[in-house]
Amino acid sequence: MREIILCKLGETVLKGANRSRFETTLLRTLRRRSEACGKFKVYMLQSTIYVEPLDENCQIDEMYERAKRVFGIVRVARAAECEKNMPAILQTAVEYLVPKMQGVKRFKVDAKRSDKSFPLKSPEISAQVGGVLLSKIKGLKVDVHNPEAMVRVEIRDRAAYVHAAQEAGAGGLPYGSSGRGLLLLSGGIDSPVAGYLMAKRGLELDALYFESAPYISEMAREKVLSLADKLCAYCGRLRVHIISLTEIQETLMRHCEEDYFTLLLRRFMMTLAEKTACHVGCGALITGESLGQVASQTLAAMAVTGAMVEMPVFRPCIGLDKEEIVTYSRRIDTFETSILPYEDCCTVFTPRHPRTQPKLDAFEAELAKVNFDELVESAWQTRQTCTRSI
């Protein structure tokens, strides 16, 4: 008995002219994700992607987990492949499904026959498969309206397939099908979630982390790289660009009013982020800001800090409560890493009374006290890149 993985496409199949581009992207992603799990054949038939192990060494459990994190797929199932005759189908149903269906009370069989030359019609196949399962599992009943378990049998051209229960896939659009965006990735809870939400809508990510050595320990950088590793479950591979803000922070401390400190720093961050995005071919910035969460995330503060940025800035957490963001971060497994206690560059020189309602002209007057372009250029020179992948 050979087990395969079936992936059902989501919204992508609805997208008319884009459909084949989306499908190609999806196939390429699944092929890449399968590479570390052994030799698989990945192909599409009738809006379903088949992921077939080609030898005994394939790690199908790991591949299944990976497939569940591929955007653009709405449902993932495992199925056993068998010869196209009723004795083989019934034997496979018993061997494959009986152990999985212990404790199930109500079930339904749904057979599909795309090979019309198969001698039995779908209802007859369903009846026979249902019959054999009823005879093997105690307390099981057929319930076509409200089944706990749905058993699918497919008769295709090459073989027959008996499906196990299916699970929800990652949803969204294929990774990379919407262009590329630069995620401002800090060590906090919000920015990894922001990256996940935009990747889910098809944006391929690069990440940018601002550090302030020696004020911040090396562990803070490791933490950010661990978060990048977690995001790789969805992105496959993630480049993390790192820029030092130390000189900018020290200069601001010397010359500018403390109340404006965070906002001025954020203006530098947004400018450096846009410069990085242009350099690496990203068309948008992504931040984890949530309206009103902290002083620098009021409407007025965001207007001031983002005023110079021309490319779109996506803030997918903007309308979410902290609790909702935490729920996402647990789901994508970044929460435990995000709450590790290392400082972030923004927490080092936090003003005692940060401005929540800054005026643009007062802000610009503070900014004029330092040489903005020179500081940006000098920070830009500190740029390094690490690449993470699964």
Binding mask 292-321 for ligand ATP (x = CB under 6 A): -xx-xx------------------------
Indicate the helix (H) or strand (E) that contains 126: helix 122-136
**DSSP states along 31-94:** HHHHGGG--EEEEEETTEEEEEE-STT--HHHHHHHHTT-TTEEEEEEEEEE-SSHHHHHHHII
Burial-class residue 387 by CB neighbours within 10 Å (0-12, 13-18, 19+): exposed
Total Cβ atoms within 10 A of residue 164: 18
**Considering only residues 64, 96, 175, 210, which one is a binding residue for ligand ATP as defined by CB under 6 A?**
210
In the bound state with ligand ATP, the residue whose beta carbon lies nearer, of 151 and 238, is 238
In the bound state with Mg ion, the residue whose beta carbon lies nearer, of 204 and 289, is 289
List the single partner that 210 binds among Mg ion, ligand ATP, none, CB under 5 to 8 Å by kind: ligand ATP
| Residue 185 touches ligand ATP, criterion: CB under 6 A | yes
**Considering only residues 128, 244, 271, 287, which one is a binding residue for ligand ATP as defined by CB under 6 A?**
287
Please tell me the distance from the alpha carbon of residue 249 to that of residue 99, in angstroms, as a whole number: 62
List, edge to edge, every strand of the sheet that includes 73-82. Answer: 40-45, 48-53, 2-9, 73-82, 160-168, 149-155, 106-113, 141-142
From the list 115-123, 171-179, 180-188, 371-379, the region that binds ligand ATP by CB under 6 A is: 180-188
CA 3 to chain centre: 26
Indicate the angle between helix axes 190-200 and 322-331, nearest 10 degrees: 70
In the bound state with ligand ATP, the residue whose beta carbon lies nearer, of 159 and 326, is 326
Question: Under rule CB under 6 A, which residues in 317-356 are in contact with ligand ATP?
Answer: 344-346
| Residue 242 touches ligand ATP, criterion: CB under 6 A | no
| Residue 34 touches ligand ATP, criterion: CB under 6 A | no
Residue nearest to Mg ion (CB): 188
CB of 14 to ligand ATP, least distance (A): 32
CB of 315 to ligand ATP, least distance (A): 8
**Considering only residues 186, 249, 271, 290, which one is a binding residue for Mg ion as defined by CB under 5 A?**
186
